[in-house]
Amino acid sequence: MINKKVRSLLFDIHLWLGLGASVILFLVCLSGTVLVFEDEVTRAFNQNVYYNTSSGQELLSREELYKTALAQGEKVMSISFYEDVNRSAAVRVFQEGSRRGKLLHMDRYTGEFLGQPSQALKDFFMFNFRMHRWLLLDTKIGRPIVGISTIIFVILSVSGLVLWLPRKFKKAQFRKGLRLKLNAGWKRINYDLHNTLGFYTLLILLIMSLSGLFWSFDWYRAGMYSFFGVERKKEQYAVQSNESDERLSLDKLAEISAKQLGYEGDLTFRFPKKKNEPYSISAKNPADLLDAYDRLTMNPYTGETIKADLFEGKHFGEKVMASIKAIHVGFIFGKLSKIIYFLSCLVATSLPITGFFMWLNRRKKKH
C-alpha cells in the first residue's frame, strides 16, 4: 500500500505538471495522431502517382528506367523499386537548396514521370509534422520545448500508473480500475476515460515518448547509443573501376543482391556523388514482419560487396537503434502496430482534456 503522503505528493505533481503542459501535449499528440497513417492516406489520394498508369505490357528494366530519368535531365540521387510491380518507381532527384532533393515517380511500363503527390495534402502533413516536432516554431526553440513536454509526459505516465493503483490491493478494486462505466454520469465517464484508457495505453505511450526524445536532445540521443552499446561511425570507401570503366547494370546489381540476401524485396539504390565511391543498396524482406532493412555497400563495377550490414546479424541494441523511427511512429510490426498506435495516440490526445475536466470538477466540488 502506498503511503498517503507520497500518494498526495504524486497527485499534486501529476495535476500541476499536467495542467501546465496540457496545451502543448494536446497539440503534439493530435498532430502525431494525424501522422500515423500519412503514407496510406497519401497513396490513397494519389493513386495516379504511386501506382503505374499503364499495364498489359512488359515492365522496363531497372537500368532502362534509370537511364530514362538521366536522359530527361535529372540528377538522380536514389531510385526505389517495389516488389509490388503495380507500384511506380520512386526517383529522388537533386533539387537546389534541398538536402533531401525532390521525390518523383516513374511508370515502370513506359518510363513516364508521373509527377508528385497533391501539394495541398503534402502541405497538410508537413504542417502537422512541424507541429509535432517544433510546435511550428524555429527548431532551436520548438525542439527543446517539445522535448521538455515529452519528459513531463513520461513523468505523468509513471505517476498516473501509481495513482491508478487502488489504495487496497484487492481483486475487486483492480477490476474497478480496468472497466469503463458507460452507464454512469458524465463525471464518472470522464474519470474512467482518463484513468482506465490511460492505463491500457500506458506502455505504448511510454514507448512513443522515450523514443521521441531521440530527436529532441543530442545528449539523449548519445545516451541511447551508449546504453544500447552501439558505436556510431561513418565509414568511407573508395572503389576501383574495371578495365572497361563501365559499371554493371542495376538489374545485375539487384541480381547479385538477391543472391546474397536470399530475397529481392523492395530495393533502393543510392548513388554516390563521386565516381570512385560505392553504391548503397537497401533491401526489405517482404516476409519479415519487422520493418527492417538490410544494406549492402557494393562496388558497381565488379559487383563485389564491400560491406554487408544485415539486420539479422545485429545484436539487440543495434536492432533497436536501427528501428528507432519505426518504433516511434508505429510501423515496426506493419499495419497492426499502426492501428494500435493510432488508437493510443487518440487516447493520449484526450488525456489533457479529460484531466482538465477532472480538475474543474474537483474545484466546483470544493466550492
- Assess contact for 60 and 52: CB atoms under 8 A: no
Considering the domain boundaries, does residue 322 fall inside one? no
Q: In which residue are the cell numbers 482506465 written?
A: 196
Work out how many domains the chain is built from and give that number: 1
By the 10 Å C-beta count (0-12 exposed, 13-18 middle, 19+ buried), 212 is classed as: buried
Rounded CA separation 125/243 (Å):
49
Give per-residue pLDDT as tens, 280-338.
999 998 777 777 899 999 999 999 999 999 998 999 999 999 999 999 998 888 888 99
Q: Please state, in angstroms and as integers, the Cα–Cα distance from residue 260 to each residue in 82, 247, 294, 298, 312, following that order.
A: 18, 19, 11, 12, 13
- Assess contact for 303 and 248: CB atoms under 8 A: yes
Give the per-residue pLDDT at 26: 97
pLDDT above 90: residue 35: yes
Tell me which of 289 and 347 has the higher pLDDT: 347
Give per-residue pLDDT as tens, 93-136.
988 877 788 889 999 999 999 978 889 999 999 999 999 999 99
User: Cβ–Cβ contacts within 10 Å for residue 195, how many?
Assistant: 19
Band (1; pLDDT cuts 50, 70, 90): low
- Taking every pair of C-alpha atoms in the chain, what is the biggest distance, in angstroms? 89
What is the mean pLDDT of the segment spanning 145-163? 96
Q: In which residue are the cell numbers 496510406 written?
A: 40
- Assess contact for 153 and 209: CB atoms under 8 A: yes
Considering the domain boundaries, does residue 262 fall inside one? no
Considering the domain boundaries, does residue 189 fall inside one? yes
Residue 79: in which H helix or E strand, if any? strand 76-81
Give the per-residue pLDDT at 242: 64
pLDDT above 80: residue 365: no
Considering the domain boundaries, does residue 297 fall inside one? no
pLDDT above 80: residue 179: yes
pLDDT above 80: residue 367: no
The interaxial angle of helices 119-134 and 139-164, nearest 10 deg, is 70
Give the per-residue pLDDT at 172: 75
pLDDT above 70: residue 7: yes
Give the per-residue pLDDT at 2: 72
Considering the domain boundaries, does residue 280 fall inside one? no
Residue 306: in which H helix or E strand, if any? strand 305-309
Rounded CA separation 330/348 (Å):
14
By the 10 Å C-beta count (0-12 exposed, 13-18 middle, 19+ buried), 123 is classed as: exposed
Contacts of 53 (CB under 8 A, 6+ apart): 107, 112, 114
What's the pTM value of the predicted model, to 2 decimals? 0.89
3-state secondary structure of 133: helix
Tell me which of 185 and 355 has the higher pLDDT: 355
Considering the domain boundaries, does residue 118 fall inside one? no
Question: Which residue, among 248, 301, 304, 236, has the nearest Cα to 273 in the 3D structure?
Answer: 236
Considering the domain boundaries, does residue 222 fall inside one? yes
User: Cβ–Cβ contacts within 10 Å for residue 37, how many?
Assistant: 17
Considering the domain boundaries, does residue 155 fall inside one? yes
Q: In which residue are the cell numbers 498489359 written?
A: 56
**CA-CA-CA-CA torsion sign (135, 139, 142, 144):** positive
Band (240; pLDDT cuts 50, 70, 90): confident
Give per-residue pLDDT as tens, 46-105.
999 999 988 767 899 999 999 999 988 778 999 999 999 899 999 999 888 777 888 899
What grid cell was written down for 95?
533539387
3-state secondary structure of 272: coil
Q: Which long-range contacts (CB under 8 A, 24 or more apart) does 165-171 make?
A: 165/2, 167/1, 167/2, 167/7, 168/1, 169/1
Rounded CA separation 42/34 (Å):
12
For 355, the domain range is 4-38+126-229+332-366
By the 10 Å C-beta count (0-12 exposed, 13-18 middle, 19+ buried), 73 is classed as: exposed
**CA-CA-CA-CA torsion sign (256, 262, 265, 268):** negative
